[in-house]
């Protein structure tokens, strides 16, 4: 018998099956042959929250969660963060190779020339309530772009796909900045094509009356590094949403809007905003032990801690700590850093966190830098969505080129009742469900 196989005996029937093992996996569909009778549907796997299920083959991002390794297209994240710009990394993620000098120049020029948004989109954004959360505005406005670019639904046309990819990467900072300016009541600032991707974003956020915005180069570089760190993270919740919605052949604007909505949750990208709220709630270093005890007693979670994949240090958190030092030299030290460091120190020694392998994740320190740079906490998740758009699109492209992919459609184990006799209105008992 071939060694790369799995032999299963079904004790219900006594029958034995041999399944091939490929890349450390068995195919769930191979289990379907395991049946107790001819009309049996066949064995399925049950995996709520996809704890142990690979949903695709991907050559974009590699993570070894036990060793704390993250690579994009085979390049360690530390090397990319040190040597590349965000748009260079975006090119790598999307096309598989680092660009040479002329390719990068052309790519940057193409992205730069798609940064404007249609006037009707600007007006659409004006319609949001004055205190709308920037993330809600971003999600809705990206969805609305599918009405501006109806041809985007031709998802099988490669050139058309690429055009939408460029538009999305280029317009995300514009929409993000406008959502911020709207929420604080400032007039929108248009893109400046002389500036780099991150400098231009800072220009659209913060330019007031000066004729030309000059970004602090250290802060612009720090933001670029943070964008690199957030660009992709394989099959996380929002990327899975991107692939799932995209698998129905929905246009990329609808799919990115859905992915961004998934990102907004506090267990995913929304965690960075929650970390700041938590640090505010803790207030002082002295209150840290009591807060940790509160969490251990079952009252909420330590936001910015824990990860489905990393059971060791998140390599991104280490780079963020280093970047924070550079930022604080310009902005001054964020006083919340001391509370965060104390929280990390105590948590990493505490039996509860050690046993569960809970380490600080990317969101633990990112909010502290963002706040020092002048970003409001409501914008933090938007700052995550901008670079992650690249990862979503790279994964979406890969999905469309993968002959094995079909519309995503999991199975269920039905636990409800069957074949009930209909109850006429006058005989029904009150179920009291609406009183809650
Ligand atoms: N604080 C306290 N306890 C925690 C935490 C935490 N942050 N995270 C997990 N645990 C506990 C959890 O209660 C469980 O304990 P027990 O075994 O006694 O029931 C155990 O650790 C395992 O946790 P889990 O919930 O089964 O782990 P998961 O893989 O389903 O969840 C997570 C991963 C990131 C959603 C979770 O760790 C969490 O909610 N963290 C806080 C939110 C956060 O920082 N999210 C950002 C994630 S990184 C960036 C991103 O994805 O956007």
The model's confidence at residue 224, banded by pLDDT at 50, 70 and 90, is: very high
Instruction: Point out the ligand 1 atom lying closest to the alpha carbon of residue 237.
Output: 51
Q: Tell whether the model's pLDDT for residue 268 goes beyond 70.
A: yes
- The per-residue pLDDT for 335 is 85
- pTM here is 0.94
Does residue 14 come out as left (phi exceeding 0), alpha (psi in the -120 to 50 range) or beta?
left
Q: How far apart are CA 180 and CA 158, in angstroms?
A: 33
Contact criterion met (CB below 8 Å) for 20 and 4: yes
Range of the domain at 246: 65-265+385-397
Pocket lined around ligand 1, Cβ cut-off 6 Å = 236, 267-269, 271, 295, 301-308, 356, 358, 361-363
- Structural domain contains residue 118: yes
Residue 218 to residues 45, 325, 373, 405: CA-CA distances in angstroms? Answer: 50, 11, 10, 43
Write the pLDDT tens digit of every residue in 23-33.
999 999 999 99
Within this chain, do residues 227 and 277 fall inside the same structural domain, yes or no?
no
- One of 233, 307, 314, 350 is an active-site residue; which one? 307
Q: How far apart are CA 180 and CA 171, in angstroms?
A: 14
Write the pLDDT tens digit of every residue in 122-176.
999 999 999 999 999 999 999 999 999 999 999 999 999 999 999 999 999 999 9
- Structural domain contains residue 81: yes
Within this chain, do residues 227 and 255 fall inside the same structural domain, yes or no?
yes
Q: What is the share, in percent, of the chain residues with pLDDT greater than 90?
A: 90
Into how many domains does the chain fold?
3
Q: How far apart are CA 318 and CA 314, in angstroms?
A: 7
The model's confidence at residue 253, banded by pLDDT at 50, 70 and 90, is: very high
Burial of 281 from C-beta contacts in 10 A (0-12 / 13-18 / 19+) = exposed
Q: Report the pLDDT averaged over residues 93-102.
A: 98
Q: Is 307 a catalytic residue?
A: yes
Cα 267 to ligand 1 centroid, rounded to whole Å: 8
Within this chain, do residues 200 and 93 fall inside the same structural domain, yes or no?
yes
Q: How far apart are CA 219 and CA 36, in angstroms?
A: 64
Q: How far apart are CA 428 and CA 147, in angstroms?
A: 46
The model's confidence at residue 430, banded by pLDDT at 50, 70 and 90, is: confident
Q: What is the domain-level CATH number for residue 216? A: 1.10.580.10
Within this chain, do residues 204 and 346 fall inside the same structural domain, yes or no?
no
Q: What is the share, in percent, of the chain residues with pLDDT greater than 70?
A: 100
Which residue of 66, 270, 306 sits with most ligand 1 atoms within 8 Å of its CB, as the best mutation to test the pocket?
Answer: 306
Within this chain, do residues 278 and 260 fall inside the same structural domain, yes or no?
no
Helical H segments across 6-75, by residue range = none
- The per-residue pLDDT for 197 is 98
In sequence order, the β-bridge partners of residue 5 are 20
Q: Tell whether the model's pLDDT for residue 358 goes beyond 90.
A: yes
From the list 306, 397, 402, 396, the residue with the least C-alpha distance to 357 is 306
Within this chain, do residues 244 and 301 fall inside the same structural domain, yes or no?
no
Contact criterion met (CB below 8 Å) for 200 and 174: no
Q: How far apart are CA 325 and CA 342, in angstroms?
A: 17
Q: Tell whether the model's pLDDT for residue 415 goes beyond 90.
A: yes
Instruction: Tell me the HSE value of 397 on the side-chain side, using a 13 A CA sphere.
Output: 21
Q: Give the residue, by CA position, lying nearest to ligand 1 atom 28.
A: 308
Q: What is the domain-level CATH number for residue 363? A: 1.10.230.10
Burial of 30 from C-beta contacts in 10 A (0-12 / 13-18 / 19+) = middle
Within this chain, do residues 320 and 294 fall inside the same structural domain, yes or no?
yes
From the list 387, 342, 405, the residue with the least C-alpha distance to 368 is 342
- Structural domain contains residue 364: yes
Q: Tell whether the model's pLDDT for residue 406 goes beyond 80.
A: yes
Within this chain, do residues 29 and 157 fall inside the same structural domain, yes or no?
no
- The per-residue pLDDT for 191 is 96
Q: Tell whether the model's pLDDT for residue 279 goes beyond 70.
A: yes
Q: Give the residue, by CA position, lying nearest to ligand 1 atom 39.
A: 267
Write the pLDDT tens digit of every residue in 369-394.
999 999 999 999 999 999 999 999 99
- Structural domain contains residue 54: no
Within this chain, do residues 367 and 389 fall inside the same structural domain, yes or no?
no
Within this chain, do residues 143 and 237 fall inside the same structural domain, yes or no?
yes
Angle at 271 between CA 197 and CA 255, to 5 degrees: 60
Within this chain, do residues 233 and 306 fall inside the same structural domain, yes or no?
no
Within this chain, do residues 158 and 100 fall inside the same structural domain, yes or no?
yes
Q: How many CB atoms lie within 10 A of CB 71?
A: 17
Q: How far apart are CA 392 and CA 385, in angstroms?
A: 10
Q: Is 268 a catalytic residue?
A: yes
- Structural domain contains residue 430: no
- Structural domain contains residue 37: yes
The model's confidence at residue 321, banded by pLDDT at 50, 70 and 90, is: confident
- The per-residue pLDDT for 436 is 60
- Structural domain contains residue 280: yes
Instruction: Please state the separation of Cα 18 from the chain's center in Å.
Output: 38
- Structural domain contains residue 339: yes
Q: Report the pLDDT averaged over residues 282-299.
A: 95
Cα 320 to ligand 1 centroid, rounded to whole Å: 20
φ, ψ of residue 374 to 5 degrees: the values are 110, 5
Contact criterion met (CB below 8 Å) for 13 and 36: yes
| Structure-block tokens of residue 121 | 């989109």
| Structure-block tokens of residue 108 | 């940057």
- Cα distance from N-terminal residue to C-terminal residue, the chain: 59
Cα 285 to ligand 1 centroid, rounded to whole Å: 23
């Amino acid at each position: 018998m071939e060694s790369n196989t799995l032999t299963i005996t079904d004790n219900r029937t006594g029958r034995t099956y041999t399944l091939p093992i490929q890349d450390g996996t068995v195919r769930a569909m191979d289990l379907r042959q395991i049946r107790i009778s001819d009309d049996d549907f066949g064995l399925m796997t049950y995996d709520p929250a996809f704890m142990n299920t690979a949903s695709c083959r991907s050559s974009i991002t590699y993570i070894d969660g036990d060793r704390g390794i993250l690579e994009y297209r085979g390049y360690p994240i530390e090397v990319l963060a040190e040597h590349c710009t965000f748009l260079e990394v975006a090119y790598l993620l999307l096309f598989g190779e680092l660009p040479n000098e002329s390719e990068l120049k052309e790519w940057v020029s193409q992205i730069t020339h798609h940064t404007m948004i249609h006037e009707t989109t600007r007006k659409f954004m004006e319609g949001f309530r004055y205190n709308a959360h920037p993330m809600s505005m971003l999600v809705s406005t990206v969805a609305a772009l599918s009405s501006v670019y109806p041809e985007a639904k031709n998802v099988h046309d490669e050139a058309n796909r690429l055009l939408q990819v460029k538009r999305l990467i280029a317009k995300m900072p514009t929409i993000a900045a406008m959502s911020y300016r709207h929420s604080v009541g400032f007039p929108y600032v248009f893109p400046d094509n002389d500036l780099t991707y991150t400098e231009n974003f800072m220009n659209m956020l913060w330019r007031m009356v000066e004729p030309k915005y000059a970004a602090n180069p250290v802060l612009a570089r720090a933001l670029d590094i943070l964008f690199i760190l957030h660009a992709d993270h394989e099959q996380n919740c929002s990327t899975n949403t991107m692939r799932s919605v995209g698998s129905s052949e929905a246009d990329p604007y609808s799919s990115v809007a859905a992915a961004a909505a998934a990102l907004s949750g506090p267990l995913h990208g929304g965690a960075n905003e929650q970390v700041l709220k938590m640090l505010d709630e803790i207030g002082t270093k002295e209150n840290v032990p009591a807060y940790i005890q509160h969490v251990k007693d079952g009252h909420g979670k330590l936001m910015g801690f824990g990860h489905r994949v990393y059971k060791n240090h998140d390599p991104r958190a280490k780079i963020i700590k280093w970047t924070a030092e550079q930022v604080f030299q310009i902005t001054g030290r964020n006083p919340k850093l001391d509370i965060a460091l104390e929280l990390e120190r105590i948590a990493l020694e505490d039996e509860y966190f050690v046993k569960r392998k809970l380490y600080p994740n990317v969101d633990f320190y990112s909010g502290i830098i963002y706040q020092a740079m002048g970003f409001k906490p409501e914008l933090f998740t938007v700052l995550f969505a901008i670079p992650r758009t690249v990862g979503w699109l790279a994964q979406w492209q890969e999905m469309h080129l993968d002959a094995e992919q079909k519309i995503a459609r999991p199975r269920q184990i039905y636990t409800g009742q069957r074949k009930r006799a209909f109850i006429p209105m006058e005989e029904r008992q009150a179920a009291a469900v609406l009183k809650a």
